[in-house]
């Protein structure tokens, strides 16, 4: 249990990749702050399960990360419970698929706020404690879309490219403080985020569900397989190890070869 005594905060950890991160961190004994939306009973069951796994404490914040004041509250909760956050994983995100001329302005604003700006706020609140301890790990779930574009995803591609630039910048700023900052860039991972964009993609491209899965989603992924949330979490866990202390400012692909093309 190499994370015993450390605290990890994972945004958007009530499902998908975020929940897989939380579970992997719990196996190594970390205190965890989980965050995100969903059914209250299901979230409470996950929170308890994390504590059983870790033998440490897990708390839940229902902060809506599009609201800077709610982010501040979440970071204060972590400080009250645990003193601060040693491992920060910025993972919450959402998607919307539409041609540029039809792209709803509120969806653009939501995706930029959640997928990009929320990380600025969590990081600025987390860094003073990490600097004090001279140890920290900041990880962003970026995306293959932080390196390559796809049509009809303007807001998402813009936000993820921004997140990659943000991560490189803080890596340089924090390099002499024992704090690393890296992005993990998955290709398609089978989660609700992918499931939910299938109907819109069917509409935007005039395709069947099967064609969207095979000709759009897996078309660009040379292995023709979805990445699993557990594979992404294992990479994040590696970044938390002392062996990874010299990995910083990296944008690590886990995309079945997508961005090799
Ligand atoms: P998901 O929909 O399963 O998880 C998203 C999480 O974010 C959930 O916990 C949800 O409750 C939370 N969330 C949504 N809006 C929020 C808000 N306003 N405030 C706080 N929390 C909010 O999706 P996922 O696929 O696990 O996505 C996680 C991250 O991985 C996202 O940043 C996504 O862009 C990225 N990603 C996903 C894939 C993929 O193929 N699934 C690929 C590359 C990158």
Mutating to test ligand 1, I would choose from 11, 12, 160 the residue with most ligand atoms within 8 A of its C-beta, which is: 12
Instruction: Encode pLDDT of 79-113 as tens digits.
Output: 999 999 999 999 999 999 999 999 999 999 999 99
What angle (nearest 5°) sits at the alpha carbon of residue 191, between those of residues 116 and 115? 5
* pLDDT at residue 129 is higher than 90: yes
Q: If you measure from the C-alpha of residue 12 to the centroid of ligand 1, how many angstroms do you get, rounded to a whole number?
A: 6
Q: Are 158 and 113 in contact (CB under 8 A)?
A: no
Q: Please tell me which residue in 60, 156, 188, 238 is annotated as part of the active site.
A: 156
Q: What is the rounded CA–CA span in Å between residue 41 and residue 38?
A: 9
Q: What is the rounded CA–CA span in Å between residue 115 and residue 133?
A: 28
Q: Which CATH class is domain 7-190+228-254?
A: alpha beta
SS3 assignment, position 179: strand
Mutating to test ligand 1, I would choose from 94, 219, 251 the residue with most ligand atoms within 8 A of its C-beta, which is: 94
* pLDDT at residue 217 is higher than 90: no
SS3 assignment, position 114: helix
Q: What is the rounded CA–CA span in Å between residue 78 and residue 183?
A: 22
pLDDT recorded at residue 89? 99
- Model confidence at 194, in pLDDT bands (50, 70, 90)? confident
Sign, CA dihedral 48-74-123-128, equals negative
Any ligand 1 atom below 6 A from CB of 220: no
Instruction: Encode pLDDT of 9-48 as tens digits.
Output: 999 999 999 999 999 999 999 999 999 999 999 999 999 9
Q: If you measure from the C-alpha of residue 176 to the centroid of ligand 1, how many angstroms do you get, rounded to a whole number?
A: 31
Q: What is the rounded CA–CA span in Å between residue 122 and residue 115?
A: 12
Does 156 participate in catalysis according to the annotation? yes
Residue spans of the domains in the chain: they are 7-190+228-254
* pLDDT at residue 195 is higher than 90: no
User: What average pLDDT score do residues 204-208 get?
Assistant: 91
Percent of the chain with pLDDT over 70: 100
Q: If you measure from the C-alpha of residue 193 to the centroid of ligand 1, how many angstroms do you get, rounded to a whole number?
A: 6
- Model confidence at 192, in pLDDT bands (50, 70, 90)? confident
Please, what's the b/e burial string for 26-55 (b: 16 or more CB within 10 A of its CB; e: otherwise)? bebbbbbbbbbeeeeeebeebbeebeebbe
In the DSSP assignment, the letter for residue 227 is B
pLDDT recorded at residue 72? 98
Q: Nearest residue CA, atom 39 of ligand 1? A: 189
pLDDT recorded at residue 85? 98
Residues contacting residue 21 through CB under 8 Å, at least 6 positions apart: 8, 10, 13, 89, 91, 232, 233, 236
Q: What is the rounded CA–CA span in Å between residue 138 and residue 125?
A: 12
Q: Nearest residue CA, atom 31 of ligand 1? A: 93
Helix (H) or strand (E) holding 103: none
- The mean of the pLDDT values for the chain is 96
Joined tokens for residue 30:
């970390």
Any ligand 1 atom below 6 A from CB of 50: no
- Model confidence at 216, in pLDDT bands (50, 70, 90)? confident
Q: If you measure from the C-alpha of residue 132 to the centroid of ligand 1, how many angstroms do you get, rounded to a whole number?
A: 30
Q: If you measure from the C-alpha of residue 37 to the centroid of ligand 1, how many angstroms do you get, rounded to a whole number?
A: 10
Any ligand 1 atom below 6 A from CB of 18: yes
């Amino acid at each position: 249990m190499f994370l015993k005594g450390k605290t990890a905060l994972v945004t958007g950890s009530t499902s998908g990749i975020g929940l897989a991160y939380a579970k992997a961190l719990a196996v190594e004994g970390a205190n965890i702050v989980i965050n995100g939306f969903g059914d209250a009973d299901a979230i409470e069951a996950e929170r308890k399960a994390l504590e059983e796994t870790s033998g440490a404490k897990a708390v839940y914040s229902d902060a809506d990360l599009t609201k800077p004041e709610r982010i501040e509250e979440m970071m204060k909760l972590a400080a009250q419970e645990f003193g601060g956050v040693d491992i920060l994983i910025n993972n919450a995100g959402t998607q919307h698929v539409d041609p540029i001329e039809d792209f709803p302005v509120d969806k653009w604003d939501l995706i930029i706020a959640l997928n990009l700006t929320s990380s600025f706020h969590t990081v600025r609140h987390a860094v003073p404690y990490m600097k004090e301890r001279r140890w920290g790990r900041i990880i962003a779930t970026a995306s293959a879309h932080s390196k390559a574009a796809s049509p009809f995803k303007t807001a998402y591609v813009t936000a993820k490219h921004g997140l990659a630039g943000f991560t490189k910048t803080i890596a340089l700023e924090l390099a002499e403080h024992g704090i690393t900052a890296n992005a993990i860039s998955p290709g398609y991972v089978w989660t609700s985020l992918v499931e939910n964009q299938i109907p819109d993609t069917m509409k935007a491209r005039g395709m069947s569900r099967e064609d969207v899965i095979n000709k759009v989603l897996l078309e660009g992924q040379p292995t023709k397989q979805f990445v699993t949330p557990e594979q992404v979490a294992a990479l994040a866990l590696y970044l938390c190890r002392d062996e990874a202390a010299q990995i910083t400012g990296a944008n690590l692909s886990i995309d079945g070869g997508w961005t090799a093309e």
